[in-house]
Structure 1
Amino acid sequence: MPRLLIVDDSDFERGFIARLLAGFEGLTVEFASSGAEALEVVQADAPDLILTDLVMPGVDGLELVRRIRGPHPGLPIILMTAFGGEDEAVAALRAGAADYLTKSRLEKDLVPTLRRALDAFRVDRRRQGLNRRLRSRTSEYELGCEPDLVWTLGHVLVEEVAALGLLEHPERIRLHVALQEALANALYHGNLELDSELRQEDETVFYLLGETRRVQEPYRSRRLRVKAALDHHSAVFVIADDGPGFDHGRLTRPVADEDLARIGGRGLLLMRTFMDEVKYNARGNVVTLVKRLGPRPAHDEASRTGGS
C-alpha cells in the first residue's frame, strides 16, 4: 500500500488534513511536524508521496523539495501554500515539486489531487514491473544536423538502458557522458567537419561555424544514424555519420596529459573509460560502443577494451 507523508508544523493543519483523508482507502498516512523531521523519514525509509506545507521554520517546503530531488528524483512532492504564496509555489514547482494546492481549497482539491498522484504512482509501479520483465529492446534513429535533438537522444538512450533496471544512478551518468561525447563527435566533427582546433582559442567560433554549416550543402543533407541493441547482458550503440571519417589510429595509444589539457581532449578518455568497448570502422565514421550490464566478474575490469 502506498505511503503518504504529510509535513506541516501546525497541529491544527495536520489534524484537519487527517480528517479530510479519513475515508481515503488504499493509502497509509504518516505525519512529520517539520521539514527536518521529514528529511529524517525520507532518509530512513522514503515514502511514495509527500504532501508538505510551504512555510515552515527551519527547512521550509521549498528547501525540502530541493534536498529531496537529488537523492530521490522520482519521489512526487505536492506543495501546500497559503493564499499569497504563489510565487514561492512556482519556485518549488521549478525546483521539482509535482503539484501544489492552496490551503483555502484543501477541502475541495486535496482528494482529487492525491488520486491523480496515486494513479500515476500505480502506473509507474506497473511500468517498473514490466521493465523487470523486459528481455531486450532494439531501436533505430535518424537525425539531421540538429544539436538539440542529438542532445535529447543521449538522454533517451540512457532511459532505454535504465528501463532494464540494471544500472545504478552513477553508472547512468557515466553512460550519458560517453554517449554525448560520441554523438557530439559524429555531429560536429563528422557531419559538420569542424576541426577541434577551433575550440582552443574561442569555442564561440566553433559553434557559430557549426550553425552556419547546418544550412549549407553538403552538410545539411547529411544524416546521423544511431542503433541501440539492449538486453540483460549488454547495451550496444552504433553511431554512424555521413562525414569523411578520421584517422582513429590514436585510439590504440594511451591518452596523453596534453590531450587532457585541451578543450575536447577529454572526450576520448571518457568514452574509453565509461564504456567497455569503443571500436571504429576502417573509415572512421562509424563508432560502436558497448556497455556490459548485470553483475561484472571480478577479472572483467582488467580485460576492458579501449578500442581497435
Structure 2
Amino acid sequence: MIYSATRSAVISYGRLGKSLRPVSPPLNFQLMIKTAQGTCSILVVENSDDFRAGLADELRQLGHTVTAASERSEGLVLEDRAQFDLLVSDLVNQGSATEPEIVRSFKMAVTSSEARRAIAELHDIIEKTFSFKLRRIDAAQPTDQIREKIELELPSNLTLMNGVLEYLVDRVARLGLIKVEQSNLFVALDEAFVNAVKHGNRNDTTKLLRITAELSAREAIFTVEDEGEGFDVCEIPDPRDSANLFKSSGRGVLLIYNIMDEVEYSERGTRLRMVKRPEGLRP
C-alpha cells in the first residue's frame, strides 16, 4: 500500500505463540507514519522475544516502522485491518521426544503491485532479514535435526537475487550438503534465477518469481517458477554441438544439468525442480 509517492513494504515474520506483545507504536499511529517518504511499515510475527525484538531493531535501523506480534493469528488480525505489501512468516514445530526433528516453514511474499516496483526498499529488507535469520535463528538450530521449507515470491528483478543466492548457498553449506569453495551450487541457482527472470518473465517486475527450497542434512530441493509463456526444453540448442559453438543459448541449462543431481522441467517449461545431495551420494 503506497500513499502519494511513498513505497510501503510489510513483513510478517512468525511462528506459533500464545500472546501478542507489540514492540512498536499502535497501528493507527503507524498508518500516519507510512505517509512519510521512503518509510516502510513492517509486521514482525515471532514467539521468541529475543528474535522478535532483534529483527525489529535491525529493520528500524533501515528507517522503517515496525509492528510486532507473537503468533500467526495475531498477524492475521493486523492483516485484516490493513493491506500489506510484503509478508514474511517463520512457523516452527519444535518436535517431540518421539519425533525430535524440527520442522520450519519460512515464507516471504510480495502481495501488492506497488511493492513490486519498490526494488530498492525490497533489496535492503531482504538482505537485512536473511542476514538476521542466518546469524540469529539458523545458527541456533541443530543441523542434524532440522527440516525447513523456504518459500519466496519476489518481483522479477535480478538486483534482488544476489541476497537470496548468498543466503541459500550459505544455508545449504551449514547443513553440511556442500563445501562452498568446492561447489558450483551458486552457479546453478544463478542460472536458474536468471533464466526465469530474463527469459521467463522478461524482466517484468509485475510478474513474480517463485522460489522454493526444501532443506535438510540429507538433500536440498529447489523449485524455481516464473509467470512467463514457457518453453520446450527439448528445443534448446545443444551447446556441445559444433554447429552451436558461438550460440549462447542452452549453456545455462547444460550447467544446471551438470551441477545438480536431479533436474526436471514442467511440461510448459515454467517450473524447474533441482535436487542437490551431499558429495559422494550422487547416483
TM-score by length of 2: 0.47
TM-score by length of 1: 0.43
Which protein is richer in helix relative to its size?
A: 1
